[in-house]
Amino acid sequence: GAVVSQHPSWVICKSGTSVKIECRSLDFQATTMFWYRQFPKQSLMLMATSNEGSKATYEQGVEKDKFLINHASLTLSTLTVTSAHPEDSSFYICSARDPRNRVEQFFGPGTRLTVL
Amino acid sequence: GENVEQHPSTLSVQEGDSAVIKCTYSDSASNYFPWYKQELGKRPQLIIDIRSNVGEKKDQRIAVTLNKTAKHFSLHITETQPEDSAVYFCAASRHQAGTALIFGKGTTLSVSS
């Protein structure tokens, strides 16, 4: 199946700093990628849909100025958590659909963010 | 937008018993329904999926049924084993490249030997 990678796998930062998370499709091109956030013992909540070459679409309640998404190429989307606070600590997972297999969605391994 | 409800939130069974997890969805245009198994700190793993043109799909001990009229779908695991213990999520989406999956809240399955 298609492969999606994320970097870093975990990050610890101080409150007030910014953190960038990368999501890459390794063997296919993805015009659209999705970002999810998962708090402990909860479900995956869709944060935003990342569109190559255009602005991301954010879900209701997600601050677009705080969670900056850039999808500059067909294989890379980045999520930047700006001015991170302890409540932003979570598991962030990206996903994408391989256009050769339009149905299944492939997930990255996730990034564990801890804000001190 | 789509809303997916999942029940039960926890399920405990004895090894060898069957387990059933149920989900309902709200968007009648949704036509793709995957089920995921997730272990702590890892990405969701697709275990089975079904499209709206099919009523039932089976893969060894795992089966999924879909009732489009009632807008609900279920995961059935037979002959459960301790290694089936995990969190299971259902999801729904439209079969379009730019459409995200919307997840249910998850079911923690515990299989005791």
pLDDT along chain B (113 residues), means of 10: 96 98 96 96 96 92 96 98 97 85 98 96
CA dist., res. B99 & res. B38, Å (int):
22
Mean pLDDT of A37-62: 95
| Single-letter amino acid code for the residue at A91 | F
Mean pLDDT of A43-54: 94
Q: Could you give the count of Cα atoms lying within 13 Å of A72 in the half-sphere of its Cβ?
A: 5
Q: Do B105 and A42 make contact, defined as CB atoms within 8 angstroms?
A: yes
Q: Which residues of A touch B32 (CB under 8 A)?
A: 103
Q: In the prediction, which pLDDT does A101 show?
A: 75
Q: Which of B44, B93, B98 is opposite residue A107, by nearest beta carbon?
A: B44
Q: Which of B97, B98, B100 is opposite residue A46, by nearest beta carbon?
A: B100
Cβ neighbours of B107 (radius 10 Å): 22
Q: Which residues of B touch A7 (CB under 8 A)?
A: none
Q: In the prediction, which pLDDT does A104 show?
A: 87
A79-101, pLDDT tens digit by residue? 999 999 999 999 999 999 888 87
Q: Which residues of B92-106 are buried (b: 16+ CB within 10 A; e: fewer)?
A: bbbeeeebbbbbbbb
* Strands annotated E in chain B: 4-7, 10-14, 19-25, 32-38, 45-51, 56-59, 62-67, 72-77, 86-92, 102-103, 107-112
Q: Predicted confidence band at A72 (pLDDT cuts at 50, 70, 90)?
A: confident
Q: Which DSSP category does A54 fall into?
A: S
Q: Is the pLDDT of residue A23 over 70?
A: yes
Q: Do B34 and A105 make contact, defined as CB atoms within 8 angstroms?
A: yes
Q: In the prediction, which pLDDT does A88 show?
A: 97
Residues of chain A in Cβ contact (below 8 Å) with chain B = 31-32, 34, 42-46, 49, 51, 91, 93, 95, 97, 99, 102-105, 107-110, 112
Q: Are B104 and B23 in contact (CB under 8 A)?
A: yes
Q: In the prediction, which pLDDT does B87 show?
A: 98
Q: In the prediction, which pLDDT does A94 show?
A: 98
Q: In the prediction, which pLDDT does A103 show?
A: 81
CB-based burial label for B16 (10 Å; 0-12, 13-18, 19+): exposed
Mean pLDDT of A55-61: 95
Q: In the prediction, which pLDDT does B97 show?
A: 67
CA dist., res. A38 & res. B10, Å (int):
18
